[in-house]
Amino acid sequence: MGATGSKLEKALGDQFPEGERYFGLENFGNTCYCNSVLQALYFCVPFREQLLDYYSNSKSIGDAEENLLTCLADLFTQISSQKKKTGVIAPKRFVQRLKKQNEIFRSYMHQDAHEFLNFLLNELVDILEKEAHAIKSDAESSSPSEKISNGPKTGQANGAQKEPLVTWVHKNFQGLLTNETRCLRCETVTARDETFLDLSLDIEQNSSITSCLKNFSSTETLNAEDKFFCDKCCSLQEAQKRMKIKKPPHILVIHLKRFKYIEQLGRYKKLLYRVVFPLELKLSNTMEDADSEYSLFAVVVHVGSGPNHGHYVSLVKSHNHWLFFDDENVEMIDESVVQTFFGSAQEYSSNTDHGYILFYESIGTGNKS
């Protein structure tokens, strides 16, 4: 890796960003699904900075109990504090903790990168929420005046599930969807809000992210066996349903549903479809108000023709340069290379390298990458 590292340093030359580190991650036997996602998260600058802040604060408080959050923070700290600009790091402690935490990731089988990302973000949120509740209950138990009002407070706490704590993970990744259902008899609109940390989109051949998002928000008619129970009519009625993005997240993570269960085959098949993902994305058709603009900064790529085998790599934009991360190897690539990962226009193609998870950051919120 010394040669690869110096090659990258030579390629960047004077343009090597000050204070930045580009490190490959060692593979511990089919852990590329983990490595590719970790690289995308490391170059999600606001997330990285908040994680490092959290780690330095928790270290000053005292020895924190080891969990997935402390292991991730420790890994990111290790990378960011390296004396060398490039090299390889073994995320051994993090992978061990992951396997201990979730048996799905214990085998040496091919794992799903999206499943891992989903599990990781939810796990981080759970840890932060538990810590916040522990601090709150400590503060309440130490204050006698608070103790008296403890009774009604617990009643509120149960109801407060609807208004959960907003952690810094939420502030980065959480958006709000609204599910609108219009009764076709009385025209009453029922709206239900739900949060999301990533959007999973159905894909079609020769399509784009914009068209996939349009389909995601398209109107669906509920009739026959799917009729909607209207509270106003007090009966099952035909209705129209649509999903809209009510509040877009700061970091928009889009998962392309490339693995589809084929009934006739009785198994999952990888869809090699060509889906164009732009470097700059406008969320116009899904928003209730103004357009939201996003810039692509990372892509997790699935390499392989099937769902149960293959490899994961990631493309990352850092300080206006695009980099290619393949486990231990890191190299600089031209921006034009990104479009080679859109997919295949033909059903059968030798190209099996396809964009699978896309990371977009909202423009105009102080991103330096």
Tens of pLDDT, residues 297-315: 999 999 998 888 899 999 9
pLDDT one-digit tens code per residue, 55-67: 888 776 666 688 9
Annotated catalytic residue, options 32, 34, 183, 230:
32
**pLDDT-wise least confident of 28-32, 159-163, 244-248:** 159-163
The closest alpha carbon to 99, from 41, 30, 44, belongs to: 30
Q: Is 250 a catalytic site residue?
A: no
333 vs 283 pLDDT, higher one: 333
**pLDDT-wise least confident of 146-155, 334-343, 359-368:** 146-155
pLDDT tier, 278 (very low <50, low <70, confident <90, very high otherwise): very high
Helix axes 32-42, 68-80, angle to 10 degrees: 70
- Rounded to the nearest integer, the mean pLDDT of the chain is 88
Q: Burial, 171: exposed, middle or buried (Cβ in 10 Å; 0-12, 13-18, 19+)?
A: middle
pLDDT at 136: 76
pLDDT at 169: 97
Average pLDDT over residues 113-128: 96
pLDDT tier, 113 (very low <50, low <70, confident <90, very high otherwise): very high
Average pLDDT over residues 3-13: 79
pLDDT tier, 361 (very low <50, low <70, confident <90, very high otherwise): very high
Residue 128 to residue 174: CA distance in whole angstroms: 15
Q: Is 311 a catalytic site residue?
A: yes
Contact 11, 86 (CB under 8 A): no
Helix residue ranges, H only, 209-335: 209-216
Annotated catalytic residue, options 114, 311, 321, 354:
311
Written as one letter, the residue type at 126 is: D
Q: Which helix (H) or strand (E) holds 316?
A: strand 311-318
Q: 18-132+166-360 domain in CATH 3.90.70.10?
A: yes
Separation in Å, CA 93 to CA 79, 182, 216, 291: 14, 51, 39, 42
pLDDT one-digit tens code per residue, 197-232: 999 999 999 999 999 999 999 999 999 999 999 999
